[in-house]
Amino acid sequence: MKILASVILAAALGSVPALGAQITQLTASSLPAFRVSLEQSINQTDAAFKNLEDAKLPLLDEAGQALGRRKIKDRRQVLVDLRETMKDFTRNPQDLVVVMTLSDQTEELADEVYDLSQIAYDNDREELAQNLTELLNKLNQDANLIASYAVDLATHQQQRLRQLEKENHKLREKTHAK
């Protein structure tokens, strides 16, 4: 059963080919490739969750008792939320609230994958744990890219706001000078 679950998960994680060039910074030109890459990570996580749920792995503590952790199906809600936020992000990548929501949800998904990888390590499921760790690394890279993009977007919006405030101030001065 251990081997079967590891093989199923490995197949799921490897079922979508990796993108050729790794994205190092989110820009207007790299957003389409990033969206594809993040969707790939979401799909891989969804497949991993489904396979873990279907395999019904007996994850036990050191005393041989079932672990009292949340069920995998309960962890999948973040995938639903993240997919919805990705749609919003695709429609409006300049919306800072959407970008921050995307960042939070990507980090939440990474936390879920981390937790499952630790459960796998704790239960001597080395291959499964390594596959989840690889997925975790990709999700962490995505989260870092989104966070950096959010800071750049906020900086740009702040600069634009300051510029508009200066223009408004000049217009008020001209109006009061007449």
Q: Which residues, including other chains, have CB under 8 Å from residue 157's CB and lie 6 or more apart?
A: 96
State the CB neighbour count (10 A cutoff) for residue 128: 29
Task: Give pLDDT tens digits along the chain (178 positions).
Answer: 443 344 344 444 443 334 345 788 888 889 899 999 999 999 998 888 887 777 666 666 566 666 655 677 778 889 999 999 999 999 999 999 999 999 999 999 999 899 888 877 877 778 888 999 999 999 999 999 999 999 999 999 999 999 999 999 999 988 887 6
State the CB neighbour count (10 A cutoff) for residue 119: 20
136 is written with which tokens? 């975790």
Tens digit of each residue's pLDDT (9 = 90 or more) over 11-41 = 444 433 343 457 888 888 898 999 999 999 9
Reduced to 3 states, what is the DSSP secondary structure of residue 60? strand
Q: What are phi and psi of 47, to 5 degrees?
A: -65, -40
Is 0.85 surpassed by the pTM of this model?
A: no
